Amino acid sequence: MKIYQLESEKEKLLSILNGLRSVRRRKIRQEVLRIKQKVEKERQKGIIELCKKFDGWEKEHPLKLTRTEIKRGAEKVSKEDMKVLEAMVERVIACHRPQRSVKRVIKERGLRIEEDYVPVERLLVYSPGGKASYPSSLIMAAVPAKIAGVKEIYVTTPAPNGNVNPYILGCAKILDIEEVYRIGGAQAIFAFALGIDTIPKVDMIVGPGNAYVEEAKKECFGIVGLDTIAGPSELLVFAENPEFPDLVALDLLSQAEHDEMALFWLFSNSKEYILKVIDYVTLFAEQSQRKKIIEQVLKRNAFFVHYKDEKMAVETVNSIAPEHVQIIGNENLKDRILYAGVIYLGITTPTALGDYFIGTNHILPTGGAGRFVGGLSVETFRRKRVKVFTTMEFLKKYGQHAERMAELEGLFVHKEAIKARKEKKDEIEGWVPKR
């Protein structure tokens, strides 16, 4: 495992990372577009064929689960584990309930602006279920959606050989979600974005997935609303004057075990410390139950970075904009890290805990998207609605300026629409509309 010296290899480091992200996308995009074409052309038949190909279906299954299937699947989860799921739901509710938007009114002389929020009507939650199944992501997506007031929530998940993970069904039961589909991958995104046969067209799609799912979501931008670019997991540990190399090694590997495309970085001002972490990473990787996945990450997607210039290190972290950042040793850096999806402070705050029970949302931007978008929240599922009322007094005060702006832009009917109201002042003021 290579150690990069930041001061002399910064550009190389960023170039490798950018190349890694862009090459992946080019290769994946070609396959995703083929899947889209098949879904559009062959519709439900094509979707089932793709499920057979990617999820190993030996026979054809109905794409939508019945209520009985959901109930029986949830019953496979032990009572103790259902309590764990319920406790996570409660934590996420507690953290997201305060995010509810309130109505805002702006008043000036002759002007009133009202801003309130309208929830998305139809939502698809994509819940990963391929190499690993993530009921936690269903909770993270559905809870804020329900708080926002979304009424129609659909869930889709990969179903190896047609079988949906019982823990996802357990979550669906707790969350009172009855619309569950056994479709995974890019084909699921296209099916619900377009509305294919019996599959409903939704207004928004949220939830993390592999690189193919995320590429399909990008392809659907403008057809449906999207949450964020939440692709393969990323963790950057920023360890200045650090301790506990064994715990940091476990934190790095906790994200590496997601899938082969996961990325992690260790930034430290101590080369000796980096070497200690590498020793523990090697040891723990060998012992891991997901050893094969972790080995692929260590081979291609693991970056150990030694720095002397703290300012340059912070600038580089902000350029990378990783999904998760853990700051260990110098928590004063927290306000200088600008674009992480979430920042965890101190050795007692592992990213893995944030994935489940802190209550903050773990559906976060990856691939550098944190530089322009944040993670999932109640606001994600609400669109702003604006209502405006102006009086003749306001028209008189600003109308002439608005007319001139219209002239400057060559939009002469704009000018006339404003001017005509001033000319009909007496008629308008005698008219009393219902409000």
CA atoms within 13 A on the CB side of 366: 23
Is pTM beyond 0.75? Reply is yes
From the list 118, 344, 368, the residue with the least C-alpha distance to 251 is 344
Q: What is the pLDDT of residues 298-338, one digit of tens each?
A: 998 999 999 999 999 999 999 999 999 999 999 999 999 99
Amino acid of residue 413: V
What's the farthest any 2 CA atoms get from each other in the chain?
85
Catalytic member of 324, 362, 414, 416 = 324
- Of residues 24 and 290, which shows the higher confidence score? 290
| Domains parsed from the chain with CATH numbers | 26-227 (3.40.50.1980), 232-371 (3.40.50.1980), 391-429 (no CATH)
pLDDT bracket for residue 22 (50, 70, 90): low
227 in Cβ contact with 207 (< 8 Å): yes
From the list 426, 405, 429, the residue with the least C-alpha distance to 417 is 405
Q: What is the pLDDT of residues 51-78, one digit of tens each?
A: 999 999 999 999 999 999 999 999 999 9
Residue identified by tokens 């979600």 is 177
Task: State residue 70's pLDDT score.
Answer: 96
What is the C-alpha separation between 17 and 296, in angstroms, rounded? 16
137 in Cβ contact with 35 (< 8 Å): no
Task: State residue 274's pLDDT score.
Answer: 97
Q: What is the pLDDT of residues 232-257, one digit of tens each?
A: 889 999 999 888 999 999 999 999 99
Catalytic member of 260, 323, 362, 403 = 323
366 in Cβ contact with 230 (< 8 Å): yes
Amino acid of residue 384: K
Tokens found for residue 60: 């054809």
The verdict on whether 323 is a catalytic residue reads: yes
Contacts of 255 (CB under 8 A, 6+ apart): 233, 234, 235, 262, 264, 324, 351
Task: State residue 56's pLDDT score.
Answer: 92
In whole angstroms, how large is the CA radius of gyration of the chain? Answer: 26
Q: What is the pLDDT of residues 126-184, one digit of tens each?
A: 998 766 678 999 999 999 999 999 999 999 999 999 999 999 999 999 999 999 999 99
For residue 218, pLDDT beyond 70: yes
